[in-house]
Amino acid sequence: MKFLFFGLIFLMLFTIVDDAYAIEKESTLEYNILPKKIHENDTVLLEVYKTVRGQVLLEKSSQLKVESLDKSIIDVVDLEETHDYKVLVKLKAKSEGETILYVFTEGSQSLEIPVTVHGNNFPKHISLDIFPNIIDTKDNHQGVLSLLLTDENGIPTRADKDYLVKLSTSKSGVVLLEEFNMIISKGDFGIKQIFSGIKSGTVTITAKSEEFESSESITVDEKPERTIEIAVIPDKISSSNNANGHLIAQLFSGGSLIKATEDITVYFEISSDSEVINTSLETNSLNPAGYFQIKKGQSWGHTTFSIQKGVIESYTITGTSQNPLISVEEGFDTMNVELYGDKEIKFSSLSILADGKRQLIGIIYLEDENGHPVIASRDIVVPFTASDESVLIETSIIKKGFNSALVYGNVGYFVPSDKNIAPKIQNSKPIELDMHGFSKDSVSIKTHLSSDIFLKDEQQWMIVFMESSDGNLFRIPEGQQIEISESEIFQVDKDKIEIFPYFVLIPITAIDTGVEALGISSGEFETSVVISSISLKPGSLNLDYSKKLFNGIKDSFVIQILDSQGLPVEIDEDVKIKIFSSDPSVIDFPKNVVISQKSNFVKLYATPNKSGSVEVSLVSEGLPIVTEEITIEDVTPTIQITGSDIVNEGESFIVSILAKQNGAPLQNVDVTWDFVGGISTIYDEKTGSTGEAVASIIATSDESVKILTSINNGPIQSAFASKIIKVNATTQQVLEESEPQNSFKKPDMGGFDPVWILIPGVIGGIVFYMKKKSK
């Protein structure tokens, strides 16, 4: 039986040692950083402590080491051991950026702490924005150049001083800048200017200050080669005195009708197949040579000519121009007839540009069934009708004694799906106009912002423009208003709107912080843009503290001031804060604290008086009230002793204790045993993973065995309990110097059921005894 007893002792000892090792191996490092959001040049506090399975060990970590991956961002200043169970590490934030802190200690796994150090809201970059990045030298030749100071995250930020920014171009003579030196004044965040394209080519514009530099490219396109086409209407002209021919010139580029960007003079000369008509009155037509103009902003030019009475001939009109340099020809015939009538009305249309302007649509003229020109015998009024309501054709009148008249109209800004018009005359048929331009479906309204983040109380410019399906800017119809939806965050300064042919500059001021989708509309066109407004000024307070707080243990608290993005911000003047505790008996704070100028937080200390929950409120003028619920846990543990109430003298029995803190098992704490009236064969020196410890006892007294036990986890975590067990008693009078005990609970040795230890021990002992006996 001796072997059985010693086997049991060995197994218990092995179990206790193994479980203690497992607890030590399980322990992990936890941390707090106060404040949690670190600002450049701050000295902050790193708190490191141990936990086992989520429970705080109120003992300090030994041989703690902390290393920074990048000491230029944050570095370790000092390690302090002034706290009851935490190691306090002072850290110095040197510059903005991200790095990792490595924390390790003997017996615990290493800890990697990602750290972000935020900047001081000073400019870190200059952003050069150019809109549009493709222009031309003719019609769409203007753009906007913007400079914007931003922080490391690309967010606009105010200048901490005057910034002189010098602009340069990789090629000269391609674009024309209003100025090459721009100053972003202290307190501002950006500036803009208008530039123009003057010669085709691609150029890089560079903006450079002492600290920053940025470059962007822009292309100046020269429009495709322009050409002029001429038409003579009608192509058969009576040589009567009142018969006129119409000479029309139209400007094209790449096969499309375009507007002239300057007055273009077209010279013409009329010649016959047999001789050149000159200015001699004896042989010539009334106006054998001359000139007319395609006016700036128009796509067409017109003049009339007449022929001497009685001349029958075929003629050629030659049209020339210097810019563009062209020479074109068109022919017509004259007939010596003088027919009068009002029946056969013909209409010859021209190519038309959908630009919303009044323009020449075509010519109406009289002609008989044989194609001979006819003179009007009366005033002939010719109204027109159009299939699309956007097309408006003016009524035309062929005056008595004349054979033709001009037809004017306005087809709007967009090419309709149905382009048919018809004169309201007998037997007339619809005529499909040759329209140049874009349909409504192929044009959209868009916005451009140098940054979609606005600063509260500051003004930025939003560019609104229209774009056609070919990717080019579309000229905004004249008189078409840009409307922006109502907003409680953003306000449009309508008096400062700048209108350009291809875009509109709209000044918008952020009057509050937040995010909003603004609706933009112009006529039938709509779009929206999501923009946000932030404040670099103090926007809120935040209270940082340890994840676990215990009564009687002094701890650090930090009140930090943040901007609207939730980032730390240095303040220009002291901020006074009042602190209110809903229950000062649980924890109390100083009534007033101050975050000093050029700082972003204040640190204070408080010692909780007892466990419980309390609401703490922070009040400061101009900032939202912050209320935080803080929970204080009880640091004093409890001990419960479980064991037999009656034993026999000389009998071996087992007792166990259960140590808890705030209802959770208290693991790996030192246990002290003392016995009166009994001796211990083996006992646990520390609690196991379940917070339990066991002892095996043999009663030596014939009256009672008194068990005294205490746990000790440093000066802040200790407790005592005792139990008296009667020996050879017939009644159950139990005295216990601890809290009343529950009924007997099956003991736990180091967190394990002792039955599983006793059974193998008994079996091993019997086998050993039988083998010995057989010998």
The residue to which tokens 């030590």 are assigned: 24
pLDDT value at 209 more than 90: yes
- Pick the more confident residue, 739 or 208: 208
The answer to whether 240 touches 340, Cβ cutoff 8 Å, is no
**Model pLDDT, residue 171:** 93
Separate counts of helices (H) and strands (E) for the chain: 2, 66
pLDDT band at 79 (very low <50, low <70, confident <90, very high): confident
pLDDT band at 285 (very low <50, low <70, confident <90, very high): very low
pLDDT value at 11 more than 50: no
Angle at 496 between CA 492 and CA 501, to 5 degrees: 105
Angle between helices 755-774 and 2-26 (to 10 degrees): 140
18, 543, 742, 774 from 567: Cα distances, Å: 48, 14, 54, 83
514, 587, 617 from 581: Cα distances, Å: 31, 7, 7
Q: How far apart are CA 599 and CA 570, in angstroms?
A: 5
Three-class secondary structure assignment of 576-596: EEEEEECCCCCCCCCCEEEEC
Name which of 256, 598, 603, 556 is nearest 434 in CA terms: 256
The residue to which tokens 């001699």 are assigned: 280
The residue to which tokens 């009109």 are assigned: 317
The residue to which tokens 């004044």 are assigned: 185
Q: How far apart are CA 465 and CA 482, in angstroms?
A: 10
What do you get for the CA distance between the two ends of the chain, in Å? 17
- Pick the more confident residue, 313 or 176: 176
6, 8, 287, 674, 727 from 651: Cα distances, Å: 16, 16, 145, 18, 9
Q: How many CB atoms lie within 10 A of CB 471?
A: 7
**Model pLDDT, residue 312:** 77
Name which of 566, 534, 563 is nearest 460 in CA terms: 534
User: Tens of pLDDT along 710-736?
Assistant: 987 665 667 888 999 998 754 444 444
pLDDT value at 19 more than 90: no
Strands, E, within 383-474: which ranges?
Answer: 384-386, 392-393, 396-398, 404-410, 420-423, 431-432, 434-436, 443-449, 453-455, 459-468, 473-474
User: Tens of pLDDT along 445-454?
Assistant: 999 999 999 9
* Mean pLDDT computed over 734-746: 38
**578 pairs with which residues across the strands?**
592, 619
Q: How many Å is the Cα radius of gyration of the chain?
A: 49
Strands, E, within 125-274: which ranges?
Answer: 125-131, 134-136, 142-150, 163-169, 175-177, 181-184, 190-197, 201-208, 213-221, 226-233, 236-238, 245-253, 256-257, 264-272
- Pick the more confident residue, 552 or 224: 552
Name which of 616, 602, 620 is nearest 556 in CA terms: 602
Tokens coding 649: 């003298």
Q: Is 9 left (phi over 0), alpha (psi -120 to 50) or beta?
A: alpha
pLDDT value at 692 more than 70: yes
Tokens coding 316: 């050629």
Q: Specify the pairing of strand 339-341 against strand 374-376.
A: parallel
- Pick the more confident residue, 492 or 7: 492
The answer to whether 253 touches 288, Cβ cutoff 8 Å, is no
Q: How far apart are CA 600 and CA 40, in angstroms?
A: 10
* Mean pLDDT computed over 208-223: 92
**Model pLDDT, residue 242:** 62
Starting at the edge strand that comes first in sequence, how are the strands of the sheet with 704-712 ordered? 646-647, 718-727, 704-712, 670-676
**Model pLDDT, residue 100:** 95
Q: How far apart are CA 380 and CA 605, in angstroms?
A: 101
Q: How far apart are CA 323 and CA 227, in angstroms?
A: 9
pLDDT value at 245 more than 50: yes
Name which of 366, 362, 465 is nearest 133 in CA terms: 465
* Mean pLDDT computed over 264-277: 76
Q: How far apart are CA 435 and CA 432, in angstroms?
A: 9
Starting at the edge strand that comes first in sequence, how are the strands of the sheet with 555-562 ordered? 540-545, 555-562, 601-606
The answer to whether 642 touches 744, Cβ cutoff 8 Å, is yes
Question: Mean pLDDT across the chain, nearest whole number?
Answer: 85
Residue 367, SS3 per DSSP: strand
**131 pairs with which residues across the strands?**
144
Residue 766, SS3 per DSSP: helix
pLDDT band at 265 (very low <50, low <70, confident <90, very high): very high
**Model pLDDT, residue 715:** 56
Best mean pLDDT range from 23-37, 270-284, 467-481: 467-481
User: Tens of pLDDT along 607-620?
Assistant: 999 989 999 999 99
Question: Which contiguous run of DSSP H or E holds residue 116?
Answer: strand 111-118
User: Tens of pLDDT along 634-653?
Assistant: 877 888 999 888 998 888 89
Question: Which contiguous run of DSSP H or E holds residue 182?
Answer: strand 181-184
Lowest mean pLDDT among 46-55, 236-245, 554-563, 677-686: 236-245
pLDDT value at 131 more than 90: yes
Query: pTM here?
Result: 0.67
The answer to whether 714 touches 83, Cβ cutoff 8 Å, is no
User: Tens of pLDDT along 454-513?
Assistant: 999 999 999 999 999 989 999 999 888 999 999 999 999 999 999 999 999 999 999 998
**Model pLDDT, residue 289:** 83
Q: How far apart are CA 453 and CA 455, in angstroms?
A: 7
Q: How far apart are CA 128 and CA 105, in angstroms?
A: 50
Q: Is the previous residue joined to 624 through a cis bond, with omega within 30 degrees of 0?
A: no
Which 8-state DSSP code applies to residue 492?
A: E
Torsion of CA 461, 467, 473, 476, to 10 degrees: -70
**Model pLDDT, residue 14:** 43
Strands, E, within 258-308: which ranges?
Answer: 264-272, 289-294, 300-305
Angle at 406 between CA 400 and CA 412, to 5 degrees: 145
Which 8-state DSSP code applies to residue 496?
A: G
Instruction: Give the rounded percent of residues in the chain with a pLDDT score beyond 90.
Output: 55
pLDDT band at 271 (very low <50, low <70, confident <90, very high): confident
pLDDT band at 541 (very low <50, low <70, confident <90, very high): very high
Q: What are the structural domains of the chain?
A: 26-119 (2.60.40.10), 536-635 (2.60.40.10), 636-758 (2.60.40.10)
- Pick the more confident residue, 333 or 730: 333
**Model pLDDT, residue 108:** 59
Tokens coding 177: 């800048």
Torsion of CA 590, 592, 598, 599, to 10 degrees: 30
Question: Which contiguous run of DSSP H or E holds residue 114?
Answer: strand 111-118
Name which of 336, 328, 330 is nearest 348 in CA terms: 330
**Model pLDDT, residue 597:** 87
Tokens coding 275: 């001789």
76, 554, 639, 654 from 745: Cα distances, Å: 51, 38, 14, 11
One-letter amino acid of 177? L
pLDDT value at 744 more than 70: no
The residue to which tokens 């179990």 are assigned: 15
12, 98, 701 from 696: Cα distances, Å: 10, 56, 16
The answer to whether 524 touches 495, Cβ cutoff 8 Å, is no
Q: Is the previous residue joined to 35 through a cis bond, with omega within 30 degrees of 0?
A: yes
- Pick the more confident residue, 30 or 282: 30
The residue to which tokens 């098992």 are assigned: 665
Alpha helices in 494-600 (DSSP H): none
pLDDT value at 316 more than 60: yes
The answer to whether 517 touches 528, Cβ cutoff 8 Å, is yes
**Model pLDDT, residue 107:** 58
